[in-house]
Amino acid sequence: MAGNWKMFKTAQQTREYLREFLPLVETVEGREIVICPPYPSLPAAVEMTAPSKVGVGGQNLHWVAEGAYTGEVSAQMLAAAGCRWVIIGHSERRQYFGETDENVRKKTEAAIEAGLTPIVCVGETLDQREAGLTEEVLLTQFAGGMKGLNPDHFARVTVAYEPVWAIGTGKTATPEMAEEAHRIIRRQAELHYGGAAAAGLRILYGGSVKPGNAPALMAKADIDGVLVGGASLDAKDFAQIVKA
């Protein structure tokens, strides 16, 4: 159950949020909970969550460990800051910052080598869905972003299916639509890495998840969790989603 805070919440706001959120999820069992704040808020998040089971993740990284890459942050730096997770290939990164499947693969490798768990995002745009290209897009993104990983590395990956048309729009894929896409992704995992790897792969759904629709999504066999943007910014809403 992961929260993508995008470019929201200063360190001070992160502390206020966690003071409210942590007691609400203290007794939750059988769920991994992760929040992904912006870089400057990571130290506050790591410090506040240290006594809890809530993990912290970055929202992006560069695949090189260090160097002259102004404005970038490496996997090693995120790990050293106390992150255990990182979102890779989010559609906003693909749309606004030219993220390619090749970059996604390099970032995924770098994250795993630094000991982070990558949450690799895939998903089709509305035009692609309406043109009947959903499966093709998912296959292309899987092939470009993950197929080249060795089996040990693939076992460390979490995938997030995020239809672009459902992100921040209030339009959620129906549980059936999401389930169908998750099956396509799991089939790809099986084809390339075998049945055990496919069964063990965690696939999150993301796209306007709210407390009201989370239970129906979570009830689907192939939906193992959710990646939540907007609703994760509210401590009560995210806690309710976590418990769905």
Kindly indicate which of the ranges 9-17, 96-104, 107-115, 203-211 contains the residues binding ligand PEP, using the contact rule CB under 6 A.
Answer: 203-211
- CB 8 → ligand PEP: shortest distance, Å? 10
Kindly indicate which of the ranges 60-68, 98-106, 142-150, 160-168 contains the residues binding ligand PEP, using the contact rule CB under 6 A.
Answer: 160-168
Q: Which is nearer to ligand PEP, 118 or 229 (CB)?
A: 229
- CB 79 → ligand PEP: shortest distance, Å? 22
Residue type, 198: A
**Residue 211 found at the interface with ligand PEP (CB under 6 A):** no
d(C-alpha 57, C-alpha 85), whole Å: 4
Q: Which residues contact 145 (CB under 8 A, 6 or more apart)?
A: 88, 89, 101, 104, 105, 108, 120, 122
**Residue 185 found at the interface with ligand PEP (CB under 6 A):** no
**Residue 214 found at the interface with ligand PEP (CB under 6 A):** no
**Residue 35 found at the interface with ligand PEP (CB under 6 A):** no
Tell which one of 99, 162, 179, 224 touches ligand PEP (CB under 6 A): 162
Kindly indicate which of the ranges 22-30, 130-138, 161-169, 178-186 contains the residues binding ligand PEP, using the contact rule CB under 6 A.
Answer: 161-169
**Residue 218 found at the interface with ligand PEP (CB under 6 A):** no
Q: Please give the positions annotated as active site.
A: 90, 162
**Residue 213 found at the interface with ligand PEP (CB under 6 A):** no
**Residue 207 found at the interface with ligand PEP (CB under 6 A):** yes
Which has the closest alpha carbon to 184: 205, 166, 168, 167?
205
Contacts (CB under 6 A) with ligand PEP, residues 117-136: none
Q: Are 57 and 90 in contact (CB under 8 A)?
A: no
Kindly indicate which of the ranges 74-82, 104-112, 176-184, 200-208 contains the residues binding ligand PEP, using the contact rule CB under 6 A.
Answer: 200-208
Instruction: Give the residues lining the site for ligand PEP (CB under 6 A).
Output: 4, 162, 167-168, 206-209, 227-231
